[in-house]
């Protein structure tokens, strides 16, 4: 079939099979197929698209409800535009065609194809990021997930220790990262219960600290731990305490694995991120190190056409406010629909920038003192400003400059 008629493709994605529908620009269903999620199914799909005019220079656009997986990777080869449609948005489009709320997989594929036919201009195709940027995104997101998982397990362990072993929490309170430190894990393995902790000698504690990799102040730290464990604490009954100790050791195994995964992925990010051309620009911003810089790159990508302007990037990050107006009523609130990963990075970035940048601190204080913002709102405003500056620097290939970024804030200090 020639390409004088526009063709649109919709794919209802599933775990093992997929439903495909092709429509023309009048909405007529041209073809539908049920394919498997394997190489044979992908070939059948590409042959079907080619039969209806798909070429390398003029590929058929595709709408699908996911942005990940092998099927999406196959479709993204070449110049084809692939649109990841939110399932909730697809459900709203489904109500256009049937008020009975009936649903079927072939019908969903047809709905997705018609979304492109009628409203393709209102949806954004998957960005054309480089393979290096996509690889960094995989590593950065995995490291972020591992960090969250590590903290979740550490919180569970802390709650358990509060029930029967407050001496351990008191002993580790002075250490940064507390229970996630290797010294804490080694000591807990040597003494899973308060009764066994009391029996630990100074030599045993020193050996545990050395196994954890500690090099300095071992004797003094062992003495401090010994005094903390031998202080006067309340105890559970012996049998209950032993059972809780076994539960703690099981959690400790999970925490050990989570810490190892987070550290290994952090090393992988540190190896891959500096190779990207945008790394120097990202690292020039105050508050952005390798890990946070990689997370920012993972979410915004390196496709310069992805965001039309800085406002689009700010809305995507959830840093810019949103106005809701109806009649005489109007309210300005923070965005709830956003990229949660990038928004989470924004708070860490803004918080770190307060100490690394005089202009950032002055801007933050101005928002607190003159505008009456609370801490979170002032940080969000700072993040909103800095991510707009990041968009400018990436477009112009410029490094961050403190005096250009915060001229008004730095003037009183000068």
pLDDT of residue 103: 79
* pLDDT above 80 (res 410): no
Average pLDDT (85-112) is: 83
Q: How far is Cα 94 from Cα 90, in angstroms, rounded to an integer?
A: 6
Q: What is the pTM of this model?
A: 0.87
* pLDDT above 50 (res 58): yes
Average pLDDT (35-55) is: 92
CATH superfamily of 7-122: ATPase, nucleotide binding domain (3.30.420.40)
Average pLDDT (363-379) is: 93
Per-residue pLDDT of 256-270, as tens digits, reads 999 999 999 999 999
Q: How far is Cα 379 from Cα 386, in angstroms, rounded to an integer?
A: 11
Average pLDDT (77-106) is: 83
Tokens 């591992």 sit at which residue? 146
Q: What long-range pairs does 45-54 form, CB within 8 A, spacing at least 24?
A: 45/11, 45/18, 45/20, 45/74, 46/74, 48/20, 48/22, 49/9, 49/22, 51/1, 52/1, 52/7, 52/22, 53/1, 53/2, 53/3, 53/5, 53/7, 54/7
pLDDT of residue 414: 52
The model's confidence at residue 2, banded by pLDDT at 50, 70 and 90, is very low
């Amino acid at each position: 079939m020639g390409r004088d008629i526009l063709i649109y493709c919709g794919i209802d994605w599933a775990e093992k099979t997929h439903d495909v529908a092709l429509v023309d620009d009048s909405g007529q269903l041209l073809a539908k197929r049920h394919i498997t999620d394997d190489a044979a199914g992908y070939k059948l799909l590409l042959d079907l698209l080619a039969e209806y005019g798909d070429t390398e220079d003029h590929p058929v656009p595709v709408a699908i409800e996911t942005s990940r997986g092998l099927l999406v990777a196959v479709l993204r080869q070449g110049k084809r535009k692939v649109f990841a449609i939110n399932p909730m948005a697809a459900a709203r489009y489904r109500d256009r065609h049937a008020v009975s709320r009936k649903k079927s997989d072939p019908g969903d594929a047809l709905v997705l194809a018609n979304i492109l036919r009628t409203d393709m201009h209102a949806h954004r195709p998957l960005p054309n990021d480089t393979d290096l940027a996509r690889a960094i995104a995989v590593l950065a997101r995995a490291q972020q997930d591992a960090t969250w998982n590590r903290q979740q397990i550490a919180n569970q362990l802390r709650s358990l220790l509060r029930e029967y072993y407050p001496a351990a929490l008191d002993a580790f309170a002075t250490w940064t990262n507390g229970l996630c430190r290797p010294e804490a894990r080694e000591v807990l393995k040597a003494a899973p219960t308060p009764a066994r902790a009391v029996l630990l000698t100074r030599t045993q504690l020193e050996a545990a600290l050395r196994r954890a990799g500690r090099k300095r102040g071992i004797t003094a730290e062992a003495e401090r731990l010994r005094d903390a464990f031998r202080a006067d604490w309340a105890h559970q009954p012996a049998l209950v305490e032993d059972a809780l100790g076994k539960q703690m050791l099981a959690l400790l195994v999970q925490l050990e694995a989570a810490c190892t995964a987070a550290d290994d992925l952090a090393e992988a990010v540190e190896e891959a991120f500096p190779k990207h051309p945008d790394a120097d620009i990202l690292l020039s911003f105050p508050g952005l190190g390798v890990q946070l810089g990689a997370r920012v790159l993972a979410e915004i990508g390196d496709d310069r056409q992805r965001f039309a302007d800085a406002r689009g990037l700010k809305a995507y990050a959830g840093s810019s406010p949103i106005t809701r107006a109806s009649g005489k009523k109007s309210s300005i609130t923070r965005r709830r629909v956003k990229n949660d990963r990038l928004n989470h990075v924004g708070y860490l970035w803004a918080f770190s920038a307060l100490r690394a940048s005089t202009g950032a601190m002055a801007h933050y204080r101005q928002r607190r003192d003159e505008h009456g913002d609370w801490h979170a709102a002032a940080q969000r405003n700072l993040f909103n400003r800095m991510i707009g500056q990041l968009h400018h620097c990436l477009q112009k290939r410029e490094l961050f400059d403190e005096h250009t970024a915060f001229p008004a804030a730095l003037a009183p200090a000068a």
